[in-house]
Structure formats: structure tokens, C-alpha cells
Amino acid sequence: MGKAPKKKNLADKVRKAKAASEIKNNPFEVKINRKKFDVLGRKSKHDVGLPGVSRSKAISKRKETLLKEYKQKNKSNKFIDRRLGEYDAKMTPEDKILQRFAIERQHSHGKRDVYNLNEEEELTHYGQSLAEIEKFNDTVGSDDESEEKGLLSAELTASHFGGGGGLLRKKTSGGEQEDEQGGQKAKSRQELIEELIQKSKQEKRERQVQKEEAQELTEKLDQDWKSIQALMVKKTPKAEHVDKPEEKPEEYDMMVRELGFEMKAQPSEKMKTPEELAKEEKEKLQKLEADRLRRMMGDEDGASVQSQVHMSADDLNDGFVLDKNDKKTLAYQDGKWNIEEETEDDKEEEGKTGEEEGSEAEDENEEDDDDVEEEEEEGSGEDEDGHSDLESEQESENEENDEEEEASSSRQQQTLSREELKAQQEAAKAELPYTFTAPESYEDLKDLLHGHTPDNQRLIMARTQKCNHPSLAAGNKLKLQKLVGFLMEYMGELATRSPPELCTIDKLIPELYALCQMFPEAAGKSMQSILGDAAHSMEEAVEVKGHAAFPTLDMLVYLKVTALLFPTSDFRHPVTTPALLFISQTLTKCPVRSLQDLTSGLVLCCLGVEYISFSKRFLPELINFLSGTLHLAVQDKASTGCMVVPPFRLSGKYSDLLVLSNSESCSSWSKKNLPLSATQQLELKSDLNKDHYRLNCLSTCLDLVKRCCLLYKDLTSFTHIFQPIRTLLSKHLLFVVLLQELHSEILDAISSASVTHTRLVFEKKKPIPLKLFTPKIVEVLDYGKKRGSTREEREKERLKHKYKKEFKGALREIRKDSRFLAREKLNEVMNRDAERKRKVKELLGSLATQEGEWKALKRKKRT
Amino acid sequence: MAPAKKRNVSSKANVKKIKIDLEGIVERILKSRKHANDVFDILEFLQSEKEKDITCAVDACCKLFCTFLKRKDLFIGKLPGEDEAIKGEHSPDEKYKIFMRHRYNNCVEILLEHLNHETHEVKESALCCLMKFAAGQGLHPLEDLDWSEHFSFPRELIQAVVHNILSQSSDNSLLISRFQEFLEMEDVRYYVMSSIRDNVATVMDKSKGVVLPVYQSNVFTLMLNINMPSQDSELTNFMVKQEAKHEDWKAAKLHDHKRAFERMWLGFLKYKLPNSMYKKVLVILHDSILPHMSKPTLMIDFLTAAYDVGGAISLLALNGLFVLIHQHNLDYPDFYKKLYNLLEPSVFHVKYRARFFHLANLFLSSSHLPVYLVAAFAKRLARLALTAPPTALLIVLPFIYNLIRRHPSCRVLIHKPSSEDELLEDPYVMKEVDPALCHALESSLWEIKTLQKHYHPDVAKAAMLINTPLSEQEDDISEVLEITSYELMERDLKPTESKSFPLEFETAAHLLERRGEVLGQHFCLA
């Protein structure tokens, strides 16, 4: 800027000559923009202006740009000055010369000697010629320690006297210092980093210098030494002897380091004692429980889905789930499996496994120790490696454990002839392949499982799952998701076979649970479709016939499985809510026409109680069904006079289902668990058997009533809900001794409930604050701007305003430009005119002188 | 497979042959009177065992006698006995006509019998044939009367047809639905209606108060198939056009149609009905019977009787009563008291739940009802809600809220602040039949409080509404009236994007062994 313009006006001179502060302080330069109102808190940028400065700035800028363009106008060629640093004001002339020279050299050094290594150039390392290094006369390293000896560095003292933690703290100390600095000066991160880099560079440089100096000194020493070596031949051993005692503190150092490293090498997650494990487990369960409670209350706000599956630190992420009951670690005794352990009580077993775990932990601890020692020998660099080794070892151990557990789990069901069975199972297991392809269709699955024992079926499923774990191949996830649906379908089919193969279902439950944990979505969807279909078909039957048949056993199994897989206590759950609705639909729409129907109904009631046992929700259909069932047992229907809720009827063909045919049969009855298959087919030959079955049903029913009493005792309408049951029990049903206890318990529970309640009132609202008469003060943030419009409108308004401002500014600039150009043109014309005048004048002058001379000459001639 | 097919083919061929034969015979008979005796062959076929033969013969008869009717080849006037005709002094032409008239009568008798044949095809073709005869007779009457005085219509024939259709032993609903197309004709409908009345009167009087389910269901189906016109101008479709005095004909007047219709129904409802029939009648009463009666108030006796029966029948009678009260100014004493007593646990379970609540909503929408009554209704419904399925609860809860909204003084049921926290027993008396004495106003709706713990989230949410003051706007219960439990379930089954499936965290190892197991305590796997 300072060089190019040839013409300099006054303002430029002034500006160049004076410093900025001087200009600002000059009252003749400064123009103060007077404010009309002084507004508190408003900052204005334009209260002081420097018109002279800004004008000169603008003019010089125009000169650089506009004027040049104007001059270049109508010219096709252009002169470009490519001299290095010609227009760079910051460069000192010396620099300029130096750089130009370097470039000159580069140019002269053309392509032709790219591969010419030996000419002129020298390879260096750390600024030192390699050729010199190759001489191997560097002997500095050997004497390094001796130099450091006796040096009481801060580091050393810290490690020796700082409580031993110095080594560990060393790493972080730098950061801490920086933090402190940050605290003091509040530097930005960028600055800190820059500072750090600078510092490290400086240190590096210093180190290099130091090293060079040291090298020089040692070389000098060496030479000196050589010169006097001959004189001191005999004294060297003594010198060595003197050195020795000084090594002792090094041992100490070593110990300190060792200790330090030991601490460092500790595993990030230490081996847990059984108590700790139990505690952790408890905490996890508590957390899940809290989550369940939250969902039960129907809070939707915590919608952020957290990972539902707990992953332990040891989890291999292979989808294998350790079942509690399978938790039998295999132990060897004298090369044999320690099977006796399984027959012992669970408690002992647990204790023992605990011990084993403890011992294992100890072993591993020992290994840790070993590792640490090794690391120490190997040096600090390898410490991470050692750790990862350790982890991989643990992993492999876990895998072994898993496999062993799986193997042992299949041996749970031990019968009397355990030896035989064991042999059989071994044989069967030998036949089973270890890998299975995931079934693509339901038929495939059936073929896969066909003809295997329940235990083997489970094993097959487990192996299929493992072989097709999603982490192994891309398509596996989809395959396993499909498998969930197939497995459910298979369970349904097992339940519909006659006789139903419920034991197989029982065996397959853990596998289904594991799959469900992996793919909750797929499991939920397939269960939903099962429930939806069943409910839909029932609805259609009801539309056509007015009633429907009780669902078959597979639906009962599905409902039970639903309760196993999904939480039943949620306020709203995509699977369990429909399941409960299905139960309710069944209990209201299906009339009881036989003992089978009644059994189905009781199963459903049991499921209903199970579903609501945690949340204690009110299930009216359950009470209706139970009271209806009790009503079936009343001999003299007419006298009861109580209301019966459909599907039960006050009288009719099937209203005497539970009336005992012979009151004597009570004496030989004892409570037995009913088989689930009784919901499908029931063969009761004699009246006695029938009576026993009836008594079983009644006892189940009474037990359920008792459970309901306990569950619902806090409901406000408890007495009204249980009124029909109470009248039935107290007046019309008299039971045998065995049921008497239940009977009286229920009556006690019902009568003990409180019958009085406080009146209903609305929940207290937050009181509405009184109206105040003080003016409402609203903070105005943007003055003079339109308020109350929408965001878009405001944005539009803002843009419009900006455009206007810019437009005006541009217009002003253009005007200034044209003014500038006009001035320049005028200048040009003036200059040209002046020139011409000057020339004319000159010519006229010369002519005048000529004329004068001529006249003078003439006069001379005359005279 | 093959032999059966063969037989099938042969039988088909056989049928074809018979058809051709019969057509030939008909041609011959029509061509010349010589072959008049061949008509016996046709009648023989008409009585054959094979259905195909019968249908062919029916077709043939239809063709034959329709032509005769058109040609007036049948004897007109009072028919002398066959033996007399042969002996008597008649021209051969007259003799022939008398002979043919007798054959025609035989044919009609056989066809009427066939109306109760086992197979539907035979019944149907017989019916069609008979109706064609009726049309023919209407145009060319067989009675010798002064037609300027009388209206020609084959009354006896229609009566006989109706008598045979309304069988006491077999369900003729299919045939009746076929018959419906003839009932579109105004005159046929009119005479069928009066025939039904006569028929019902004679049959039911004979039965002496015993219900005849099959017969009554036949009558009901037939009556149900009668579509009454709503305006005089719609009476255009006649089977027989009267040349003179068409305007005076009863069958051409809507008023007479209505009276016939009314008498028919009253005659039918006079007798004891089976329960299912009772319900069916009540279901259609308000929109297909009452509007077509000339004096709907005549139904009052029937409806009040039905209303007093109790149970589902009472619920259904409500609709008819509503129409009478609303449009015909019926004054029904103790109507609300009876309505109150209709509320039983079963109202939530019956098929007509939606209709009942719709009407109850209408009855209780009046703002002039006393507060005690409304409170009693609300309290009773709430008490009954303790036994209701979720679909019913979704109706009842808004229903109760609407009652409270309409009658702000009922708000004490859900909000009765008192200075001291007194505990009290529910003063409401469930067994009291009089809503004025049941102390509902002194009670609170604790039942709804209980339902806040209901297992279904929608119900629980609806019950939560009583915790805060109700909104001014009434809930529209018509949306939820028809909801079924599957629809309710679908709300949860519908896939939504944000839906996640929370899982049970307790590991499941066995079907029946778990913490808090109930099923496993009473049932076992094997």
C-alpha cells in the first residue's frame, strides 16, 4: 500500500506519519456523533467517528482497485510483477535477497541431478552429518548413569518420599499443573495446547544442545584420558570398587518401582468375592424392579429405552444366558466327574460352588502375581500386553465353563437309574452334531427336533442358537428372529398333541427365554399375532353363536409363556395387556359346560391371579368366574337369591357341575394337583373319582379366592366385590374338614376388611395465586422491533431490513466510486490541458524569441 | 369315479328325454282336443318320486294350463261334479272344458302339496307355477260373477298357498324368501296379509296356548318379508289390474294396507311366543313394525307386558316404548323406577348392550329429572361396574360422568369435602327397588376409585378422571357403544414406531416353577 501509489495526498501523509492513538486523540480528527437520548445499557458502536481517516482509507483503497482497473481499461496486455516479495512490506530487504537467492539456486539445481547423491549434498540426522555418525565414535551412552548419579531430581524425591505414589501420579501431574494454570489465568484450550507444544519443542532443543555439549566434553575427556591412560593402568579396578556401594539405592529404586508397577498392574475390575457378586446382583435386580414399578405406574416420561439386558463384565456377548438353576459348576475328583454333588442339597451345592469360585479367584490372583513379575522383567512397555493376555485367558476359561455348564444342565433330570440314563445320554449326545443350521421354515424346525428326547431338543436349540449367533454372520440375526416365531409355534403344536407333550415345552422354556432376551421385538410380535388371532376367532364365534368354547391347551400354554417372558405388571404392555384382555374375554364369553371347561377356567383364573399378583390390579372377571364356580357347588340354587354374572346362569343344565353326587366321598379325598391335560380330556369313570375331582376343583377355587382376598384387601369396594362370595360361603356352602380351613380363612379375610371410607374429594389443586395490582414488568430485549409476530415473520423482517441496509450501502459506494472516477478523469483532463498550455506557451515563447531575434537581426541590419 | 359319471350322464339324458316327451305331450294336447287324455300322463309325472321328473312336469303343467287360462278353455262358473257333467246335458265343448277344469283343480292340489316337499327345487318351481296360475286367474277369472260389482282376484288360491307355506313341521324360510318377490306386488301383499291373519287365528286357536316354534317362526319370517310402502303413490306394482273402479279397490289403498298389516301383527302377537321369537320381534319392532301401523298405540299392551317380563326382553321392549313415549305421547307411570330395576349385572354382558345404553342415555338426558333419581342411577351403574368387562366399563364410566355433568348437584357423588375426616360405611342400599329410598345421594362413587386399579390401562385412565373436576364437555358415548374386546385389543396390537417390548428380567427355566407361581401350585404338567 505504501509503495504503489505515486501520488500522495495530505491525509495519507498524516496517517502514515502519525500513530493511530495520536490520530484518535486529535480533536480535529475526531467527530462525535451526538446521541438524542442517552439510553442505559445500550452500547453503540458509532458514537465516535474518524472521518478523515476513513475517507483517506477509502480513497487509497479505490486507488488500488478502481483506479487500476480504470487504467487497465481497454488494454489487453498486462504487466505482472512476479518478483519475490516485491510488494510485501513486512519483508526486510535482507530476507528478500536471501529468498531470491535460494530460489535462484533451486532453479539452477534442475532435474538432471535428482539422483546424483554424492554431489554437494550431505545427509544429516539431527543436524549432524551421517557420515560423521558412521564413525561410531559416540561413547556417550555408556557413561550416562554415572552422570546422573547423585542428582537429586524432583522426580526422584517425589518417588522416594512422596508416599510411593509418585510414579503413578507422574502421568497426571502435568495435566494437573496445567489445570492449575488454567485456574489462574483462565486460558483457552487452544492456547494451552500451543503452549504445551512450544514447551516441548523448547525442551527438545535444550536437550539436544545439552547433549551436544556433553558429547564434546566427553570427547575432550576421552582424549585427556588417553593421554594419561598409561599412567593410571593399575588404579582402574579400585575405581570400579568405589562405584559399587553406590548401586544400593538403585535396588531401593527398583523396589519402589516394583511397588508402583504392582499397583498399576491391578485389573481394572477386580475379582469379586461371592458376597460382592451377590450384592451386585441384588443391586441390578433392585434397579430392574424400580424400572418395573415405574412402568407399572404408567409413567411414560422415562421413555428412553435402556438396554434391557444386563451385560456383565465377563459377558462374551454370545447370547448365552446363564440360568440360575443350571448353575452347577463341574468339578473333577480323581479324574471323574463329581456327580454326587448334584444329589446334595442346593444349599450345600451353592456353598461349594462358592468355595470353588473363591479358590478359582485365588488361582487367578496368583496368576496375576506371576504376570506382574514377568512384566517387571520385561519392562514397563509390555504391561498392557500382559493384561490383555490375562483377559483372554479368562475368556477362554469362561467359554470352557459355559460348555461344561451346558453339558451338565442336560443331566439335571436324574432318575433312580442314573447310571443307565447317563450312559444313554452320553450315547445320544455322541450322536448329536455340534452345529446346526438355523431352520428356514417351521417344517424345518419340526424335522430338526423330530424324534429327539426333550433334553436333546433343548440341546439342539441351544446349539442352533450358538452356531447362528448374530455376531458370527450377517444373516444370522434374521434367522434367529424367525426361529423365535417357529419355536413358539412348535410349543403350541406340542400342547395340542394328544397327549400334550408339556415336558418338552418345559424343557424348551429356557431356550425361548434366551431367544426372547435377544430379540424382544420378534418374540413380542409373534406372541401378539398369536393372541390377536385367538381373540379374533373367539370374537367371531361369539358373533355367530353368542358364546364360544374355552381355548385349547396351547393357548393356555401361550398365556403362561407370556407371563414368563414379559412383565405382567406394566401399566400398558404391548403383549401382556392383550393377554389379560384375552383372559378376560374367555372368562366372560365361554360358558362352563363340563368339568374340562371348568378346569380350563380355573387354569385361566390361576393365570389371571399370576398376572396381577404383583401389580394388584383389579380383574373383575376373575371374581365373577370364581363366584360362579362356587355357585356351581351349591345344591339348592333357588334359595341363594344372589346375582350370578354371565357366562354362569342361575339355573340350567350345567349349573350342578360341582355338586357332589355322594357326600361320603369327601372322607377319602386328599388334595392333589390337577394335570393340565385335564383341560382337554378327562376320563372319570366312577362317581367317587368324579367327586374327588370336583373337590380338587373346589379347593383350587377356594385357594384362588383366598389369594384374591389378600390381593384386593386395599380396594375401597372390597366388601362389595366379595359380597356374593361371602354370602355363598357363609350360608350355602358347607365343606368337609379339609376345606374348612380355607373356608374360614376367606371369611375372616373378608370380614376383617374395613368397611368405612372417607368421602371422595377431588385432588387438591395447586392454589391459584391472587391477582396482583402491581404492573407487570416485562423485560424488553430488542428495542423498537415488532413483537408478537411469528418467528418466520421476524426472520423475514430482519432479512428485509438487512437487504435495505446493504442496498443503500452499495448505492453509496457506487456513487462514491463514480465520483472518484470523475475526479480522476477531471484530473486527467486538467493535466492534459495544462500540459498543452505549457507546450503552447513554450512554443509561443520560442516563436516570440525567434521573432524577437529576427527583429533584432533586422534592426541590426538596418542599423 | 367313472361309473358314477356315467350314471350321471345317463340320468341327465333321461331327464332330457322326459322333458322332450312332456313338451311333445303338451304340444299335442294344445294342438287338438283328441289328445286330451294325455293330460293324465303329465299329472302322473307330477306325482312321481324323482325330483327332476316333478320339476319337468311342473313346467309342463304351467305351460299347459296357462295357455288354457288364456284361451278360456277352462270351465267358468260353478263347477259341476265330474260324474254329473258326463251324465248331464252339456255340449261336447262344455264337457271338455269341465274335464279340463277338473284336471286343473287336480294339478293345483298336487302343486300345493308339493309346497311342503323335501327338496327346495320342487317347492320353488311349484310356488312359481302356482303364482303364475294366480296371475292367469286374475286376468281370466274362473268365477262367473258380475265383474262390475266385484274385484277379480284369486283369493282362495292365495289363501291356500299361504296356508301351505306356513307349515307346522318344516322350516320354510328359503321358500319364503323366494316368495318375497311376489310380495312386492301390492295386491298379492294385501291378500297375503289378510290370509296370514286368518291362518294364524285358526292355527293358534287350535293349539290352545301351546307355542309352535316352527310354525311361528315361519309366520314371523313371512311377515318380516313384507315390505310396506310408505306412500300412496308408491302403490303401482299390481299383479291384477282392475279395469273398473281400481281406485276403490282396498288393495290399492295404503290405509287399508296399514290396517291389514296392523291386524296381522296384532293377531300374531296375541298368542304366546317362544322366548327367542319374542326377542326377535322386539328387535325389529321399532323400525319395521311401528311405523307401518295405522294406530301404533295398539302396541302398548304388548310392550308393557314385555317390559314387565324382565331381563333381556325388558331391555328390548324399551326401544318400542321409547318410540311410543316420544312420538305418540304415551304416559308410562313408574317408567324410571322400572328402568332402574332393569340394571343388573347382565346388562353388561347381553348382546343388546349398545342399544340399551343408547336408550338409557336418551332417557336420562332430560334435565328435569330429580337429583335423587340420577344419583341412584349413577350409583347403581357404578356398583354394577364392579362386575363388568372392560368394553362395558368404557361405556359405563363416561355414561356416569355425563350424568354428573348434566346434573351438577350430583357432583357430591365424586366430590364432597367435609371438615373432619369422617369414615363412613356406604349408605347406599343395593337391594332397594325404589330409587328414591336407596340413599344414593348420601354415598360416594367409591367403586370408581376401585376401578382406578383396573387391569386395563384405558379403563384405569378413564376412572382416574374423578380425581379432578370433570370437564364441561360431555363425552360422546356413541363411539364406544359398539366396541368389542378384539377392537380393544387391537389398540395394543397395532405396531407403532416407538413401541418397545420390555422384558421380564427374572430368568425362566421352567414352565411352572417361578417365584410367586400360582398355576404350578394347583396344576402339574402330566
Kindly report, residue by residue over B142-162, the tens digit of the pLDDT: 666 655 556 667 777 777 877
CB-based contact (8 Å) between A297 and chain B? no
Is residue B191 included in any domain, yes or no?
A: yes
For residue A473, name the pLDDT band (cuts at 50, 70, 90): confident
- Domain limits at B455? 333-416+426-492
Residue B405 burial by CB count (10 A; 0-12/13-18/19+): exposed, middle or buried? Answer: middle
Handedness of CA A767, A773, A779, A783 (dihedral sign): positive
Distance CA B496, CA B491 (A): 10
Write down the pLDDT at residue B16. Answer: 64
**Is the CB of residue B307 less than 8 Å from the CB of residue B338?**
yes
Is residue B286 included in any domain, yes or no?
A: no
Torsion angle (degrees, nearest 10) of CA B454, B458, B460, B462? -140
CB contact under 8 A, A574 and B499: yes
Write down the pLDDT at residue A416. Answer: 43
Lowest mean pLDDT among A150-154, A379-383, A432-436: A379-383
Is residue B211 included in any domain, yes or no?
A: yes
Write down the pLDDT at residue B119. Answer: 76
Which residues on neighbouring strands pair with residue A674, listed in sequence order? Answer: B523
**Is the CB of residue A412 less than 8 Å from the CB of residue A507?**
no
pLDDT tens-place string over residues B418-446: 766 677 788 888 888 888 888 888 888 88
**Residue A322 per-residue DSSP state:** -
Give A161→chain B minimum CA distance, Å. 52
- Whether residues B113 and B168 share a domain: the answer is no
- Whether residues B477 and B354 share a domain: the answer is yes
- B contacts of A759 (beta carbons < 8 Å): 416-418, 422, 424, 444
Do β-strands B424-425 and A756-757 pair in parallel, antiparallel, or remain unpaired? antiparallel
Lowest mean pLDDT among A119-128, A132-141, A482-491, B510-519: A132-141
Q: To which residue does cell 255340449 refer?
A: B91
Give A782→chain B minimum CA distance, Å. 40
- Whether residues B141 and B174 share a domain: the answer is no
- A contacts of B470 (beta carbons < 8 Å): none
Lowest mean pLDDT among A225-234, A388-397, A450-459: A388-397
Q: Which ranges in B166-271 belong to alpha helices (H)? A: 173-183, 186-207, 213-224, 254-269
- What does the angle CA B250 – CA B253 – CA B256 come to, to the nearest 5 degrees? 65
CB contact under 8 A, B345 and A539: no
* Of the ranges A652-666, B447-461, B499-513, the best mean pLDDT one: B447-461
Closest-CA residue of B relative to A298 is B457
Q: How far apart are the first and last CA of chain B?
A: 47
pLDDT tens-place string over residues B96-151: 777 777 777 888 888 777 777 777 777 778 888 888 877 777 777 666 665 555 66
CB contact under 8 A, B511 and A505: yes
CB-based contact (8 Å) between A482 and chain B? no
Give A413→chain B minimum CA distance, Å. 12
* Statement: residue A760 has pLDDT above 50: yes
CB contact under 8 A, A757 and B523: no
Residue type, A826: L
- A contacts of B349 (beta carbons < 8 Å): 588, 645-647
Q: Which ranges in A245-315 belong to alpha helices (H)? A: 248-264, 274-296
Residue type, B215: Y
Q: Is A500 helix (H, G, I), strand (E, B) or coil?
A: coil
Closest-CA residue of A relative to B487 is A536
* Statement: residue A188 has pLDDT above 80: no
Q: Is A331 helix (H, G, I), strand (E, B) or coil?
A: coil
Is residue B79 included in any domain, yes or no?
A: yes
Q: What is the mean pLDDT of chain B?
A: 77
Counting the structural domains of chain B, the total is 3
Q: What angle do helix axes A442-449 and A476-496 make, rounded to 10 degrees?
A: 70
**Is the CB of residue A501 less than 8 Å from the CB of residue A452?**
no
DSSP string, B495-518: --TT-------S---SSS-STT-S
Do β-strands A31-32 and A48-49 pair in parallel, antiparallel, or remain unpaired? antiparallel
Closest-CA residue of A relative to B466 is A762
Higher-confidence residue of B298 and A196: namely A196
Largest CA distance in chain B: 113
Largest CA distance in chain A: 189
Q: Pull the grid cell for residue B264.
A: 296381522
**Is the CB of residue A273 less than 8 Å from the CB of residue A358?**
yes
Which residues on neighbouring strands pair with residue A128, listed in sequence order? Answer: A125
- Whether residues B337 and B441 share a domain: the answer is yes
Is residue B450 included in any domain, yes or no?
A: yes
- Whether residues B356 and B459 share a domain: the answer is yes
**Is the CB of residue A513 less than 8 Å from the CB of residue A565?**
yes
* Statement: residue A394 has pLDDT above 50: no
Q: Is B256 helix (H, G, I), strand (E, B) or coil?
A: helix
Distance CA A747, CA B415 (A): 33
Q: Spell out the residues 6+ positions from residue B48 whose beta carbon is closer than 8 angstroms to its own.
A: B54, B57
pLDDT tens-place string over residues B185-227: 777 788 888 888 888 778 777 777 677 777 778 888 877 777 7
- Whether residues B137 and B203 share a domain: the answer is no
Distance CA A643, CA B345 (A): 7
Residue finishing a domain among B122, B147, B172:
B147
Q: To which residue does cell 328387535 refer?
A: B283
> Of A750, A727, A710, nearest to A627 (Cα)?
A727
Higher-confidence residue of A534 and A318: namely A534
Q: To which residue does cell 399378583 refer?
A: A613
* Statement: residue A310 has pLDDT above 60: no
Phi, psi torsion values for A114, nearest 5 degrees: -70, -40
CB contact under 8 A, B446 and A609: no
* Statement: residue A803 has pLDDT above 90: yes
Q: What is the mean pLDDT of chain A?
A: 73
Q: Is B30 helix (H, G, I), strand (E, B) or coil?
A: helix
Is residue B184 included in any domain, yes or no?
A: yes
CB-based contact (8 Å) between A240 and chain B? no
Task: Please tell me which of the candidates A503, A609, A673 has its beta carbon nearest to residue B518.
Answer: A609
Give A344→chain B minimum CA distance, Å. 20
Which residues on neighbouring strands pair with residue A534, listed in sequence order? Answer: none
Residue A675 burial by CB count (10 A; 0-12/13-18/19+): exposed, middle or buried? Answer: middle
- B contacts of A560 (beta carbons < 8 Å): 511-512, 519
Residue type, A393: E
pLDDT tens-place string over residues B376-408: 999 999 988 888 888 889 999 999 999 888 888
- A contacts of B502 (beta carbons < 8 Å): 291, 295, 308, 520, 566-567, 570, 573
CB contact under 8 A, A717 and B450: yes
CB contact under 8 A, B501 and A676: no
- A contacts of B501 (beta carbons < 8 Å): 520-521, 523-524, 566, 573-575
Distance CA A807, CA A811 (A): 6
> Residue A263: how many CB atoms within 10 A of its CB?
13
**Is the CB of residue A424 less than 8 Å from the CB of residue A415?**
no
Is residue B60 included in any domain, yes or no?
A: yes
Give A505→chain B minimum CA distance, Å. 7
Distance CA A68, CA A61 (A): 10
> Residue A221: how many CB atoms within 10 A of its CB?
12
Residue finishing a domain among B106, B121, B147:
B147
Write down the pLDDT at residue A388. Answer: 42
Average pLDDT over residues B248-273: 77
**Residue B289 per-residue DSSP state:** I
Write down the pLDDT at residue A267. Answer: 55
Q: To which residue does cell 404408567 refer?
A: A298
Residue type, B491: R
Handedness of CA A449, A452, A457, A463 (dihedral sign): negative
- B contacts of A613 (beta carbons < 8 Å): 516, 518
- Whether residues B157 and B137 share a domain: the answer is no
- A contacts of B383 (beta carbons < 8 Å): 720
Chain A contact probe: residue of B351, B505, B512 with most A CBs at under 10 A: B505
CB-based contact (8 Å) between A727 and chain B? no
Percent of residues, chain A, with pLDDT higher than 70: 67
Q: Pull the grid cell for residue B16.
A: 332330457
**Residue A324 per-residue DSSP state:** S
Q: Pull the grid cell for residue B322.
A: 321409547
Q: Spell out the residues 6+ positions from residue B191 whose beta carbon is closer than 8 angstroms to its own.
A: B153, B155, B158, B159, B251
CB-based contact (8 Å) between A564 and chain B? yes
- Whether residues B253 and B268 share a domain: the answer is yes
CB contact under 8 A, B450 and A646: no
CB contact under 8 A, A525 and B524: no
DSSP string, A676-734: GGGGT-----SHHHHHHHHHHHHHHHHHHHHHHHHHHTTSTTHHHHTHHHHHIIIII--
Write down the pLDDT at residue B177. Answer: 78
Task: Please tell me which of the candidates A321, A572, A761 has its beta carbon nearest to residue B507.
Answer: A321
Lowest mean pLDDT among A132-146, A474-488, B477-491: A132-146
Is residue B292 included in any domain, yes or no?
A: no
- Whether residues B205 and B100 share a domain: the answer is no
Task: Please identify among residues 582-611 of chain A the ones whose CB lies closer than 8 Å to any CB of chain B.
Answer: 582, 584-585, 588, 602-603, 606-607, 609-611
Q: How far apart are the first and last CA of chain A?
A: 66
- Whether residues B341 and B468 share a domain: the answer is yes
Distance CA A584, CA A590 (A): 10
Q: Spell out the residues 6+ positions from residue A548 whose beta carbon is closer than 8 angstroms to its own.
A: A538, A541, A542, A586, A589, A590
Q: To which residue does cell 260373477 refer?
A: B145
Average pLDDT over residues B342-354: 83
- Whether residues B359 and B430 share a domain: the answer is yes
Chain A contact probe: residue of B381, B486, B488 with most A CBs at under 10 A: B486
- B contacts of A717 (beta carbons < 8 Å): 386, 446-447, 449-450
Q: CA separation (Å) from B123 to B136, B165, B195?
A: 20, 9, 20
Closest-CA residue of A relative to B442 is A759
Task: Please identify among residues 337-376 of chain A the ones whose CB lies closer than 8 Å to any CB of chain B.
Answer: none
DSSP string, B311-379: THHHHHHHHHHHHHHHHH----TTHHHHHHHH--GGGGTSTTHHHHHHHHHHHTT-TTS-HHHHHHHHH
* Statement: residue A181 has pLDDT above 50: no
CB contact under 8 A, A720 and B416: no
For residue A369, name the pLDDT band (cuts at 50, 70, 90): very low
Residue type, B74: L
Residue B257 burial by CB count (10 A; 0-12/13-18/19+): exposed, middle or buried? Answer: buried
Q: Pull the grid cell for residue A173.
A: 501431574
Distance CA A174, CA B433 (A): 90
- B contacts of A326 (beta carbons < 8 Å): 509
Write down the pLDDT at residue A397. Answer: 44
Chain B contact probe: residue of A292, A588, A609 with most B CBs at under 10 A: A588
Closest-CA residue of B relative to A696 is B522
- What does the angle CA B411 – CA B412 – CA B416 come to, to the nearest 5 degrees? 130
Task: Please tell me which of the candidates B413, B426, B511 has its beta carbon nearest to residue A506.
Answer: B511
Closest-CA residue of A relative to B497 is A521
For residue A376, name the pLDDT band (cuts at 50, 70, 90): very low
Phi, psi torsion values for A337, nearest 5 degrees: -70, 140
Closest-CA residue of B relative to A306 is B502
Q: CA separation (Å) from A775 to A772, A778, B344?
A: 8, 9, 61
Q: Is the previous residue joined to A646 through a cis bond, with omega within 30 degrees of 0?
A: no
Write down the pLDDT at residue A356. Answer: 43
Distance CA B314, CA B350 (A): 12
CB-based contact (8 Å) between A815 and chain B? no
Average pLDDT over residues A453-480: 82
Give B129→chain A minimum CA distance, Å. 36
CB contact under 8 A, A716 and B450: yes
* Statement: residue A450 has pLDDT above 90: no
Higher-confidence residue of A818 and A474: namely A818
Give long-range contacts, CB 8 A cutoff, 24+ apart: A765-768: A765/B468
* Statement: residue A146 has pLDDT above 70: no
Residue finishing a domain among B94, B123, B147:
B147
Give B112→chain A minimum CA distance, Å. 35
- Whether residues B343 and B446 share a domain: the answer is yes
* Statement: residue B510 has pLDDT above 50: yes
Chain B contact probe: residue of A503, A530, A558, A581 with most B CBs at under 10 A: A581
